[in-house]
A and B are shown apart, each in its own frame.
Chain A
Amino acid sequence: MRFHRTYTSPSATTFNDRSCEAGKERQTTTLLEADDVRRAITRIAHEIVERDRDLSALAIVGIRARGDALAARIQAAIRANEGVDVPLGAIDITLYRDDLTRIGYAPVVRESEIPFSVDGRVVVLVDDVLFTGRTIRAAMDALVDYGRPRAIRLAVLVDRGHRELPIRADFVGKNVPTAAGDDVRVHLAEVDGRDEVEVVTRVHA
Chain B
Amino acid sequence: MSVDRRALEAKGYLVVPGFIDLHAHLREPGFEDSETIATGAKAALRGGFTTVCAMPNTEPTIDSPGLVAELIARGGAAGGARVLPIASITRGRKGRELSDLVELAAAGAVAFSDDGSPVEDPRLFRSALEYARVTGRPVIEHPQDLALSAKGVMHEGAVSARLGLPGMPAAAEETAVARGIALAKMSGGRLHLTHLSTAGSIELVRRAKAEGAPITCDVTPHHLAMTDDWVAGSRAFAWEVPDEALQGVPYDSSTKVNPPLRGHADVRALWAGVADGTVDAIATDHAPHASVKKEVEFDQAAFGISGLETALALVLGGVRVHWAPIGAVIDALTIGPARVLGIDLVEDDWIAIDRDAEWLVTADELQSKGKNTPVLGRTVIGRVVHVSMAGEARLRGRREGNAEAVGRR
Residues of B within 8 A of A3 (CB): 162, 229, 232-234, 247, 250
In residues 222-266 of chain B, which contact A (Cβ within 8 Å)?
229, 232-234, 242, 244, 247-250
Residues of B within 8 A of A4 (CB): 232-233, 247-250
How big is the A interface, by class? under 10
Complex Cα gap A4–B234 (Å): 8
Query: Could you tell me the distance in whole angstroms from the C-beta of A46 to the nearest C-beta in chain B?
Result: 62
Q: Of B229, B242, B248, which one neighbours A5 at CB under 8 angstroms?
A: B248
Complex Cα gap A3–B229 (Å): 8
Residues of A within 8 A of B249 (CB): 4-5
Q: How many A-B residue pairs have CB under 8 A?
A: 22
Complex Cα gap A4–B233 (Å): 6
Complex Cα gap A3–B163 (Å): 10
Residues of A within 8 A of B233 (CB): 3-5
Check A53 for interface membership: any CB of B closer than 8 A.
no
Complex Cα gap A163–B229 (Å): 59
In residues 1-44 of chain A, which contact B (Cβ within 8 Å)?
1-5
Complex Cα gap A108–B175 (Å): 57
Residues of B within 8 A of A5 (CB): 233, 247-249
Chain A interface main SS type? loop
Complex Cα gap A3–B244 (Å): 9
Query: Could you tell me the distance in whole angstroms from the C-beta of A10 to the nearest C-beta in chain B?
Result: 15
Which has the most chain B C-beta neighbours within 10 Å: A2, A3, A4, A5? A3
Nearest-neighbor residue (CB-CB) of A1 within chain B: B242
Complex Cα gap A3–B249 (Å): 8
Query: Could you tell me the distance in whole angstroms from the C-beta of B192 to the nearest C-beta in chain A?
Result: 36
Query: Do the beta carbons of A2 and B250 come within 8 Å of each other?
Result: no
Query: Could you tell me the distance in whole angstroms from the C-beta of A5 to the nearest C-beta in chain B?
Result: 6
Complex Cα gap A3–B231 (Å): 9
Chain B interface main SS type? loop
Query: Could you tell me the distance in whole angstroms from the C-beta of B152 to the nearest C-beta in chain A?
Result: 20
Residues of A within 8 A of B250 (CB): 3-4
Complex Cα gap A3–B161 (Å): 14
Query: Could you tell me the distance in whole angstroms from the C-beta of A3 to the nearest C-beta in chain B?
Result: 4
Query: Could you tell me the distance in whole angstroms from the C-beta of B64 to the nearest C-beta in chain A?
Result: 48
Residues of B within 8 A of A2 (CB): 244, 247
Query: Could you tell me the distance in whole angstroms from the C-beta of B247 to the nearest C-beta in chain A?
Result: 6
Complex Cα gap A112–B232 (Å): 42
Query: Could you tell me the distance in whole angstroms from the C-beta of A6 to the nearest C-beta in chain B?
Result: 9
Complex Cα gap A3–B250 (Å): 7
Nearest-neighbor residue (CB-CB) of B162 within chain A: A3
Complex Cα gap A3–B248 (Å): 8
Query: Could you tell me the distance in whole angstroms from the C-beta of A77 to the nearest C-beta in chain B?
Result: 56
Query: Could you tell me the distance in whole angstroms from the C-beta of B337 to the nearest C-beta in chain A?
Result: 36
Query: Could you tell me the distance in whole angstroms from the C-beta of B175 to the nearest C-beta in chain A?
Result: 30
In residues 202-219 of chain B, which contact A (Cβ within 8 Å)?
none
Complex Cα gap A4–B249 (Å): 5
Complex Cα gap A156–B394 (Å): 86
Residues of A within 8 A of B242 (CB): 1
Query: Could you tell me the distance in whole angstroms from the C-beta of A142 to the nearest C-beta in chain B?
Result: 40
Query: Could you tell me the distance in whole angstroms from the C-beta of B163 to the nearest C-beta in chain A?
Result: 9
Query: Could you tell me the distance in whole angstroms from the C-beta of B242 to the nearest C-beta in chain A?
Result: 6
Complex Cα gap A2–B243 (Å): 9
Complex Cα gap A106–B43 (Å): 51
Nearest-neighbor residue (CB-CB) of B231 within chain A: A3
In residues 340-357 of chain B, which contact A (Cβ within 8 Å)?
none
Nearest-neighbor residue (CB-CB) of B242 within chain A: A1
Residues of B within 8 A of A1 (CB): 229, 234, 242
Query: Could you tell me the distance in whole angstroms from the C-beta of A146 to the nearest C-beta in chain B?
Result: 44
Nearest-neighbor residue (CB-CB) of B234 within chain A: A3
Query: Could you tell me the distance in whole angstroms from the C-beta of B59 to the nearest C-beta in chain A?
Result: 37
Nearest-neighbor residue (CB-CB) of A3 within chain B: B232
Complex Cα gap A1–B247 (Å): 11
Residues of A within 8 A of B229 (CB): 1, 3
Complex Cα gap A3–B230 (Å): 9
Residues of A within 8 A of B234 (CB): 1, 3
Complex Cα gap A177–B351 (Å): 85
Complex Cα gap A4–B247 (Å): 6
Query: Could you tell me the distance in whole angstroms from the C-beta of B252 to the nearest C-beta in chain A?
Result: 10
Complex Cα gap A3–B233 (Å): 6
Nearest-neighbor residue (CB-CB) of B163 within chain A: A3
Query: Could you tell me the distance in whole angstroms from the C-beta of B264 to the nearest C-beta in chain A?
Result: 13
Complex Cα gap A3–B251 (Å): 11
Residues of A within 8 A of B248 (CB): 4-5
Nearest-neighbor residue (CB-CB) of B250 within chain A: A4
Nearest-neighbor residue (CB-CB) of B232 within chain A: A3
Q: Mark A32-74, 1 if CB is under 8 A from B, else 0.
A: 0000000000000000000000000000000000000000000
Complex Cα gap A1–B242 (Å): 9
Nearest-neighbor residue (CB-CB) of B248 within chain A: A5
Query: Could you tell me the distance in whole angstroms from the C-beta of A109 to the nearest C-beta in chain B?
Result: 31
Query: Could you tell me the distance in whole angstroms from the C-beta of B129 to the nearest C-beta in chain A?
Result: 43
Chain B positions near chain A (C-beta within 8 angstroms) = 162, 229, 232-234, 242, 244, 247-250
Chosen A-B contacts, 17 in total, with CB atoms closer than 8 Å, are A1-B229, A1-B242, A2-B244, A2-B247, A3-B162, A3-B232, A3-B233, A3-B234, A3-B247, A3-B250, A4-B232, A4-B233, A4-B247, A4-B248, A4-B249, A5-B233, A5-B249
Those 9 A-B pairs whose CB atoms lie nearest each other, nearest first = A3-B232, A4-B233, A4-B250, A3-B233, A5-B247, A1-B242, A4-B249, A3-B250, A5-B249
Given contacts A2-B247, A3-B250, 10 further A-B contacts (CB under 8 A): A1-B229, A1-B242, A3-B232, A3-B233, A4-B232, A4-B249, A4-B250, A5-B233, A5-B247, A5-B248
